[in-house]
Structure 1
Amino acid sequence: MNSLREVWGNRFGKYLMELQRYLQYVFTGHLAIVLLFSIGAAGYSYSEWLKDVPPDLPAARLIALLLAASTFIATPVTLLKPADAVYLLPLEKELPTYTSRALSWTFFSKLPLPIIVFIVALPMLSAYEIGSKPIFGLLLLLIIAVLWASVRTEFLYRKANEGQGVWRDRFIRFVLNALLFYAVLSDQWIILIVITIAYLLYATLWMKKANVQPFPYDHFIELEQNRMMSFYRFANYFTEVPHLKGSISKRSWLGLFMPDANVEHTDAQSFLLRRTFIRTDESFWLWLRLTVLSILGVLFIPFPIVAFIFIGALAFASAIQTLQTLRGGDEFRMDLLFPNTEETRPKEIFRLTERVQWLQAGLIVIAGLLMHGLSITPFVMGAIVLIISEATIRLSNNKDEE
């Protein structure tokens, strides 16, 4: 390929195919049910809250902060690869063509989030009698312009500083974005003009500094690799990603669940599996996220039947994902060094999964007691988690035996 435009087009097509390859396993029927009930419950709670809004709530400031939070993080999606640091040098004069398309895709891929925040905020603005249809139209145009400016400003800042101190730049843009949105919502047109001029001067400053700096290939290549690795870790919660590089953490603060081994009395499989679960980032953080989501569902979903379905779906997800993670792959494992038969490993995997699901059920019961008081509902929630988890474990065991 002799043009970076062709390079971008080719890579972008492959990138979309890669996303589609894994997202088809992410957005399945189970997740659709969870999202349906979650969005429905959140929408109902929001509509009920709007019927009697607190009069002293600073709605304009709150919405300005939410809109700023949805626009100030604008990590560029460049699709650069390690070999580009060498092979793109002869075409470096065409690099602005490549980066322009990369920033355009970054802008459009990040646009849905602030638009959703804007749509959700409209009923709240109407409830507090803030703004009008022309103001809302201006606010929508400002959201698009601010996101466009944020994407390009962060790219210029990273290019000028090789990514050093990027959160300082993000903080400045967060403050500027919030002031812009608040100025529109509060009809402070002088503030809007002043902040707009300050924003333009800030962006121009980094444009001038970026133009005199060579393109930092290493920084943007590393940034792209980290971004894709984050996507693969997310996709790995739903399906196996072969080229995912796992990571481990010591997590000494969980030493209570990892006592020292006793050669004569400690079962090797149980000891190693317990440490594998706690120290492997993918398994530990996945289970913790699903547990936290279940607790939030118990605390914020007003309908018990909806909460039952929600925590049941997450209990199934956490049980099956814990089983799959502990089974691991075909690589070398430390338990192969111990004089234990391989036949004990599946039993210990099921036993450890049962224990962590019991812990999840206990936390959900505690959350249910805080939400519903001393009643039968919290214990039904805990029972649902245990029943679905046990059914998932047993069905998985029967499938393995077949």
Structure 2
Amino acid sequence: MNLTDLWHKRTKQHQKKMMKYLKYVLNDHFVIICIFLIGAVGYAYAEYLKVIPEENVIFAKWLAVFLLTASVFVGKLATLTVPADAIFLLQKENELDDYLAKAKSHSLLLPGFFLGVASAIVMPLLVAIGVASFKEWFFFFGYLLLLKVMMLDIQHVLLKTKDHRKKKAWRGALMAAVFLTNLLGVFLHPLIGIAAAVLLLLFEQAKAKKKRQQTFYQWNYLITEETSRMKHLLQFFNLFTDIPSVKSSVKRRKYLDGFVKWIKIENKQTFLYLYARAFIRGTEYSGLFIRLSLIGVIMLFLTSGILQVVIAILFLYLTGFQLIPLYYHYDHQLLTALYPITHKNKEQAIQHILFLLLMVQLLVFSVSSLIVSGLAEGSLLFVISLLFAVFFCYFYVPKRVKAK
């Protein structure tokens, strides 16, 4: 089997694996939340564009430059290599260039679509401040796509670069080139951005071609980069379903011991203590809680009125729903089956811990609403969200865990 056939085989296997996990991500609950969230953000964005003051025009331009620059760095070179390749494919290294050429084409598909969406989202902002017209979207998308091609090509070059300082130099040059091109495209004209992107791509490819002809692939680096890429992807899927190959890290976090001292030392509180410890020490739970809380706060600062209530409820639901697997965290521990504890105690424990966590998040959201919108709207958000948290923890969660 040549490497071209191997690439096609691995691509099919990878797509089959991703589709298997995507059906858990795109469940009814998550899709509904995304629809409401996109609607709320879109409405807030449209309202903001109507009232951009003149003194904020420069800030809006810099914001557009930052967003367009960040969008280029979404997505990495997907080589689909595995650790065993460092041994079994070493003798076919002369065919690896063709293999990676297909990998670069494949790696451009999804990021290319994302660049189209990102540039389309930024366009209304550029139109509102008089920088561009909607028909110039093709120019912005065009030079962003060229920059993405250059980025993937540089990542290919890094696979043959042994010196860490040279790797940093390549990455630094890439970031500077992407930022400068977006600066020219936004502040001057997108056609200038296209011209800059074309020149940079031609210059980079000339340098890269020479580099690839002179050196050999650094297999350890190649395998490490792909392993890291897949790890981050599977960690995202692990938020929605159990991925056997993903192992979350555990941290002692002694400084948080005070948060579990209030739990009484008695049989019926056993699982409450265990769940509290699992949340504090397990990065998959605490990290998820912190990320969703921060995103929710940012969304609240960008909206006002009833939209804040909607966003608060959506994030409370998303947080609570994603933390329900905490109920099954100790099921693989056989010793827990020996505890003189009923299933009712375990169910009450997960309800209690989820309610406490949602209350912490609710207080953060209420304070954010209070700062942005005032006492009346902050109080309304608190009352409605509190009713939702009670319903979710004491009515929805028991049915959910029994259903499984």
Aligned match of 1:118: 119
Amino acid across the alignment from 2:76: T
Cα distance per residue 1:211-239 (max 9 Å; x no partner): 33322222222222222222222122222
Amino acid across the alignment from 1:43: G
Aligned match of 1:51: 50
User: What SS class does the counterpart of residue 35 from structure 1 fall into?
Assistant: helix
1:251 lines up with 2:250 in the alignment: no
Amino acid across the alignment from 1:391: F
Q: Write the mapping of 1:325-336 to structure 2, written as runs, cut at 5 A.
A: 325-328=326-329, 330-332=331-333
Contact residue 327 and residue 350 of structure 2 kept, 8 A: yes
> Matches of 1:69 and 1:132 in 2, distance apart?
22
Aligned match of 2:359: 358
> Matches of 1:361 and 1:133 in 2, distance apart?
40
My pick for the range that moved more, 95-104 or 174-183, is 174-183
5+ long unaligned stretches in structure 1: none
How many matched pairs?
397
Aligned match of 1:280: 282
User: What SS class does the counterpart of residue 80 from structure 1 fall into?
Assistant: coil
Inter-CA distance 349–266: structure 2 relative to 1 (3 Å threshold) = closer
Inter-CA distance 48–24: structure 2 relative to 1 (3 Å threshold) = same
Contact residue 251 and residue 282 of structure 2 kept, 8 A: yes
My pick for the range that moved more, 138-147 or 187-196, is 187-196
Amino acid across the alignment from 2:103: A
Contact residue 147 and residue 197 of structure 2 kept, 8 A: no
> Matches of 2:335 and 2:367 in 1, distance apart?
37
Aligned match of 2:105: 104
Inter-CA distance 193–15: structure 2 relative to 1 (3 Å threshold) = closer
> Matches of 2:247 and 2:217 in 1, distance apart?
28
Q: Write the mapping of 1:11-26 to structure 2, written as runs, cut at 5 A.
A: 11-26=10-25
TM-score, scaled to structure 2 = 0.85
Aligned match of 1:151: 152
Amino acid across the alignment from 2:66: L
Aligned match of 1:82: 83
Aligned match of 1:322: 323
Aligned match of 1:380: 380
Aligned match of 1:4: 3
Amino acid across the alignment from 2:51: D
Q: Write the mapping of 1:2-401 to structure 2, written as runs, cut at 5 A.
A: 2-56=1-55, 57-58=57-58, 59-72=60-73, 75-131=76-132, 136-161=137-162, 169-185=170-186, 186-187=188-189, 197=199, 200-259=202-261, 268-304=270-306, 306-328=307-329, 330-332=331-333, 340-343=339-342, 344-375=345-376, 377-394=377-394, 395-398=396-399, 400=401
Structure number having the greater helix percentage: 2
> Matches of 2:207 and 2:88 in 1, distance apart?
30
Inter-CA distance 246–140: structure 2 relative to 1 (3 Å threshold) = closer
Q: CA deviation at 1:384?
A: 3.4
> Matches of 2:37 and 2:290 in 1, distance apart?
19
5+ long unaligned stretches in structure 2: none
Amino acid across the alignment from 1:209: K
My pick for the range that moved more, 276-285 or 82-91, is 82-91
Cα distance per residue 1:163-211 (max 9 Å; x no partner): 7775653332122122223324415989986786566445544443343
RMSD between aligned residues:
3.3
Percentage of identical aligned residues? 21
TM-score, scaled to structure 1 = 0.85
Q: CA deviation at 1:364?
A: 1.7
> Matches of 2:264 and 2:318 in 1, distance apart?
34
Contact residue 326 and residue 350 of structure 2 kept, 8 A: no
Cα distance per residue 1:256-297 (max 9 Å; x no partner): 425599989996544332121111011111122222233333
Amino acid across the alignment from 1:320: F
Contact residue 41 and residue 302 of structure 1 kept, 8 A: no
User: What SS class does the counterpart of residue 160 from structure 2 fall into?
Assistant: helix
Contact residue 146 and residue 197 of structure 2 kept, 8 A: no
